[in-house]
Amino acid sequence: MSTAIQQRISILVIEDDAGDLGLIRAHVRLAGLRCIGDKDPVTWVPTLAEGVAAATASRPDVVLLDLSLPDSAGLATVQAMRRVIPDVPIIVLTGRDDHQLAEAALRAGAQDYLVKGQFEHDALGRAIRHALVRQRLESRLRLFEAALNSAANGIVITDVNAAIEWANPAFTAMTGRTLAEAVGRTPGEVLKSGRQDAAFYQRMWATILAGQVWSGELVNRRKDGSVYDEALTISPVTDMNGRIQHFVAIKQDISERKVTEERVQHLAHHDQLTDLPNRALLSDRLAQAVAQARRDRGTLALMFLDLDQFKPVNDTLGHDVGDLLLKEVALRLQSCVPRESDTVSRLGGDEFVILLAQMDKAADAVVVAGKILAALQRPFAIGPHEIGISASLGIAVYPQHGEDVNRLLKNADTAMYHAKKAGRNCYRFFRALTDQAGG
């Protein structure tokens, strides 16, 4: 009694020899292959044309195909059936024990190769079952490949030495590099921008060679030379013994996201009208400057500036003109500060604050204050209008007038009111000793 595992299956046999067909039926029966309802699992046709018609009408689970038929012979027979049933496994039957023909049949799309008269029922059953398993695996691989090819993110597979073996179309769209141009080369050879130092890549390799997933952001270069921001995840792929065999990299172009993030950050820290740093950014820079001055036992100055007679401009000429005037004031103030480390900020309305970081001496603030007063005294041409204004400045110096952010801001503001009381268009230090303009 056969010990073969029972399996329900439909088999299309394309064979013109009735004697061979009888042997095939016997082997199928002994192999324990059955059809639904215990019907004969074998459907038989003697020609390729009838086989094509039968396969089209009722898709079989597997095809046993003779390579020598009345209307077709050789590899063309396999190719013809493969076009009709691309996802059905084909087992080739032939009367010749020809290994070259066997290999050619496999390359043409057959799943297996059997020589008639030289196999037992267990060989046929095993061949059919293995063909079904291989076909399912191949179908899954095709599905996975289709999914990878349709992915929006770039996907790259490399060997353990980072040589590229495969990349999807999104990789080409992102980098401008075709698969043919990338295969055999490392991502560093085709994408490296020079923006990351050696230590960056050393940390990356240390992580993935330890079998861990690495994720991060970097700047890469396209084929046309342009650079882009990329979010990258690299996952090691190991064999059954835990040895790394491949790396899979998922790549996403985040250039637009980075631009948006930078814009949002900029808007959060800059005045929308003048594009000067706002109160939040000023406070941050002032805190850093105070910490630096404390470490270096240095000096810095904070100037609180308020425009004189700005309200009449808004009241008589309108807020649009007032806004244009504030923009011009911002430009003139920026031209008066001596160093890139200095900050001109707008707190709101017609109030501005100037941070002079890393001064050599407190008297340096007097020079800048004089430049500011002179610059703002020159008339402003706003459309058809020529507008004359001035400013009142209050100055607080670290550490004499305060050793923290809030104290310096408060004392500079107080000094500005002293300048207003002194007649405007002048500056005053906190706790000023004289009342003369510029004193």
Buried b (16+ CB within 10 A) or exposed e, 250-274: bbbbbeeebeeeeeeeeeebbbeeb
The count of residues in the chain is 439
Give start and end residues of each alpha helix (H) in 255-341. 255-269, 279-296, 311-317, 319-336
Angle at 280 between CA 279 and CA 285, to 5 degrees: 95
Please tell me the distance from the alpha carbon of residue 31 to that of residue 132, in angstroms, as a whole number: 15
pLDDT, residue 96, reads: 73
Going by DSSP bridges, is the β-strand pair 343-348/351-359 parallel, antiparallel, or unpaired? antiparallel
Q: What is the pLDDT along the chain (439 residues), one digit of tens a residue?
A: 344 445 578 889 999 988 888 888 887 777 677 655 556 788 999 999 999 999 999 889 999 999 889 999 888 999 999 899 888 999 988 877 777 877 888 888 888 888 877 776 678 878 888 888 888 888 888 888 888 899 999 999 999 999 999 999 999 999 999 999 999 999 999 999 999 999 999 999 999 999 999 999 999 999 999 999 999 999 999 999 999 999 999 999 999 999 999 999 999 999 999 999 999 999 999 999 999 999 999 999 999 999 998 999 999 999 999 999 999 999 999 999 988 889 999 999 999 999 999 888 888 899 999 999 999 999 999 999 999 999 999 999 999 999 999 999 999 999 999 999 999 999 999 974 443 334 4
State the Cα torsion 341-347-352-355 to the nearest 10°: -20
* Token digits of residue 178: 């075709």
pLDDT of residue 141: 82
The enclosing H or E element of 44 equals strand 42-45
Q: What pLDDT does 227 receive? A: 96
CA distance 249 to 230: 12
Residue 70 pLDDT: 92
The residue annotated as part of the active site, out of 112, 229, 271, 350, is 350
Beta bridge mates, 233: 215, 250
Furthest-apart CA atoms within the chain: distance in Å: 125
Residue 306 identity (one-letter amino acid): D
**Which conformational region is residue 188 in: left (phi greater than 0), alpha (psi within -120 to 50 degrees), or beta?**
alpha
What domains sit in the chain, N to C, each tagged with a CATH number?
Answer: 7-148 (3.40.50.2300), 154-258 (3.30.450.20), 270-429 (3.30.70.270)
The three-state secondary structure class of 162 is: coil
87 is catalytic: no
